[in-house]
Amino acid sequence: MTVKTPLTPTRRGALRTLAAGAAAASLPMWARYSHAQSAAPIRIGFQQHRTGIGAAYGRWYGRATEAAVRLINEGGGINGRPVEIVAEDDGTDPKRGAEVVEKFANQHGVDVGFGTLFSHVVMGSAPRAGELKLPYFVVSEGTHVSSGKLNRYTLQPGITDVKSQVISMAPFMTETLGKKVTMIFPDYGFGYDHRDALGPAIEAQGGEILAKIAIPPTETSFTRYFPQIPRDTEVLYHVMVGPGVLTFVKELGEFFGGQGPQLFGFIDSLEAVAMDSPGLEFLEGSHFWEGMCRHAQPDQSAHETAYRAAVGVDARGASVNDPADVATYGHMFGCWETLHIIKAGMEAAGYAGPQHRASLIEAVEAMEDIPESAGHPQGAKRFNGRTHQVFGHQNISRVEGGQLKRVHRTSIEDTLYPDMVDYTQQPF
């Protein structure tokens, strides 16, 4: 596959660079950058949720980003130039997010923007990135990119989206847990992706959605919402985010008192929360979606073992320096993998500066099959250059003895859905 550019980056060329960094890391430091046309670093603007409801994610997104950049720089950087991260706090706020994007472009002079998680911040920031013609790599899960709501400068090549996750897991839910489903989800864009994707996916399996309960993500108590759950619910599908997630799952257990429907949760409801936290005993036997399995599995690959060590996470999913500091492990790999995609794209495009931003985007659009590797420890993936969205394996884990044990892993084919946009037809 080629693209219409004088640099003619190819998918093969882009993917070849993913494996090159490890070999270069054995070179002495003076030799790693000796072939660079410029000594100036590649500057990547990291839009980080340091404060606000996304702060726990922002902290761990930062650690994954630092670890990935360290590995990339040890391997010679990008096109022989070191990578420098310029981080700005967006407060997990869409208005501030757009201001951060403008600051990246006009004050910091970054080459690309990167890192945004919460979908309302992506929706507030991406239009400004398009106006500024700043490549904007999001690590969000939202279906906003592939839906066509954004622009050609916005890509999501390092983490799968909610629609692909949901449609791949609906068969397991209906076949294993039940067909009458009630949803609890956050009342904003990310939650709406769940709301909109799950209904058709469950109905396609012969099931039905009995109720859809939206809860503000800043809510601190949830008991008043639970009486809305219909009595004949067989499966309670829950996904919650923000600082109140531990309260949410505790109150859910207290409400049902060990009885009630089967629970299927997205790990978002427990990201940064220890599985052995007091009050979570009721989760025994319930199931969770995980982008990457928090607890080390018996068949964990060598690539994931190396990644886990690099980001400083132990076998239980907590910081190696503080067992109480639990990682957002189901999502943060997206930062690591996106940075390796940026590296591959820049090297395929011969990126030397902002004048090559369009060629960088075309190089990423030309990617398709991405093998599991040190740069992609979550597993093999398939990138759709038309929709700017990556697709990959999904994991379903069961809580057994306080451990998250993987019981099902989807194929990439299970996650695919028809294109809703072709960004390659949009001008730069």
Locate 322 and state its tokens.
């503080």
One pLDDT digit (tens) per residue for the chain, 428 residues: 223 333 344 444 555 444 444 444 434 444 445 455 667 999 999 999 999 999 999 999 999 999 999 999 999 999 999 999 999 999 999 999 999 999 999 999 999 999 999 999 999 999 999 999 999 999 999 999 999 999 999 999 999 999 999 999 999 999 999 999 999 999 988 899 999 999 999 999 999 999 999 999 888 899 999 999 999 999 999 998 877 888 988 998 899 887 889 999 999 889 999 998 888 888 999 999 999 999 999 999 999 999 999 999 999 999 999 999 999 999 999 999 999 999 999 999 999 999 999 999 999 999 999 999 999 999 999 999 999 999 999 999 999 999 999 999 999 999 999 999 999 999 99
Question: 80: closest CA among 131, 136, 23, 40?
Answer: 40
Do residues 58 and 48 make contact, with C-beta atoms less than 8 angstroms apart?
yes
* CA dist., res. 125 & res. 136, Å (int): 9
pLDDT for the residue numbered 24: 44
pLDDT for the residue numbered 240: 86
What's the pTM value of the predicted model, to 2 decimals?
A: 0.90
pLDDT for the residue numbered 13: 53
Do residues 272 and 56 make contact, with C-beta atoms less than 8 angstroms apart?
yes
Task: Give the residue carrying structure tokens 């992506």.
Answer: 122
pLDDT for the residue numbered 220: 87
pLDDT for the residue numbered 246: 85
Q: Taking the CA atoms of 261, 267, 271 and 277 in sequence, report the sign of the dihedral they define.
A: positive
* CA dist., res. 211 & res. 216, Å (int): 17
pLDDT for the residue numbered 190: 87
* CA dist., res. 321 & res. 323, Å (int): 7
Do residues 154 and 136 make contact, with C-beta atoms less than 8 angstroms apart?
yes
pLDDT for the residue numbered 257: 83
* Neighbour tally for 206: CB within 10 Å: 9
Residue 3 CA: distances (Å) to CA of 136, 213, 229: 20, 45, 51
Locate 283 and state its tokens.
């989760």
